[in-house]
Amino acid sequence: MDTESVRLFVLSAGKLNISAAGRELGMAPAVASARLAKLEKTLGADLLRRSTRKVSLSIEGADFLPFAKEIVAQEDAALAALGMVKPSVSGTMRFAAPSTFAQHYIAPVLPKFLAQYPEITLDLRLSDTQFDLIEGSFDLALRNVEMSDSSLKGRKLADDVRVLCASPAYLAEHGLPDKPAELVEHRLMSFKDFSTKGLVTATGQKAQFEPKIAAARLLCDDGQSQKIATIAGAGISINSIWSVYNELADGTLVRVLPDYRLDEQTALWLVYPKSNVLTAKVRVFIDFLMDEVGGTLPQLD
């Protein structure tokens, strides 16, 4: 089966115009009509119904269309894997990411991506509340979690080390804890939940603290708002190094228990459903983020 003719059929079905679909692939109208006729003969079915005024899908064409789209997607993915992505890679890609991270690192580089791929449209859903990739029909998402969902595949963008921080003003008023057990005496800010947190030093010494038994009066589901409240002196909070690196460097925030970090195996992952074909538009966006973002994130000193 000629995959270029299959691609022509998919475009024709979307536009309901064979000539326009042919022009997009660089074919004259007569050539496009001949290619489609040959495909129909190969398949033994009329895929499109033509009249002098319009083109419409036949029943057989509607049944074949999902498989035709899959064939086109597989071809694009195969070419992309070999570094042979067509300059005309196109389509709308639905991408979900945490709003805090997106504001810092993704939004600033989007103009460069859109300039490189003028036929791709990005449909972004930015929230620190995670979306369900499959139910939401997302092509790709950024997740700062451990990769444990068996329905997802992913590529690691960067490590996500988290530490405890507070403002100088808060520490001047309440003191600086010397050991994890003293955290119970402080105002803690919890991100999303009050679950028990593990801490670990570079030498492997471990400890735990439980926000639910401390004065954890502020529960927040937005990382940027949590950081702003921490700077304002609301208490001690957990933050990713990529989020607070500049504030730690200029003294706006101070690390609490600086020998410790959160004992987690979390990382920043670009994930997509296993059932999805890794299309060219997704692959080029993943490669772009790996190049433009992955190598630029600050790490723990």
Closest CA to 117 of 262, 293, 286, 267: 286
Q: How many residues does the chain have?
A: 301
Number of CB atoms found within 10 A of residue 155's CB:
17
**Quick one: pLDDT at residue 88?**
64
**Quick one: pLDDT at residue 215?**
64
Is the C-alpha dihedral spanning 215, 221, 227, 229 positive or negative? negative
Q: What CATH number corresponds to the domain at position 184? A: 3.40.190.290
| pLDDT averaged per 10 residues in sequence order, the chain, 301 residues | 89 88 84 91 90 85 89 78 67 88 93 91 83 66 73 83 94 93 85 77 88 70 89 92 94 96 88 72 89 84 65
Domain containing 31 equals: 3-81
On whether both 147 and 270 belong to a single domain, the answer is yes
Which amino acid does the sequence have at 137? Answer: S
Dist CA 195 CA 207 (whole Å): 14
pTM above 0.75, yes or no: no
For 253, phi and psi rounded to 5 degrees?
A: -125, 155
* Residue 210 CA to its chain's centroid (Å): 30
On whether both 209 and 281 belong to a single domain, the answer is no
**Spatial contact of 245 and 133, defined as CB atoms under 8 Å apart:** no
**Quick one: pLDDT at residue 136?**
57
**Quick one: pLDDT at residue 72?**
84
Q: Answer whether residue 129 is part of any domain.
A: yes
**Quick one: pLDDT at residue 151?**
61
Q: What CATH number corresponds to the domain at position 132? A: 3.40.190.10
Q: Answer whether residue 299 is part of any domain.
A: no
On whether both 131 and 222 belong to a single domain, the answer is no
Dist CA 142 CA 131 (whole Å): 10
Q: How many domains does the chain have?
A: 3
Is the C-alpha dihedral spanning 221, 222, 223, 226 positive or negative? negative
Alpha helix segments (H runs only) across the chain: 3-15, 18-24, 29-43, 59-81, 99-101, 110-116, 168-174, 223-231, 241-250, 280-289
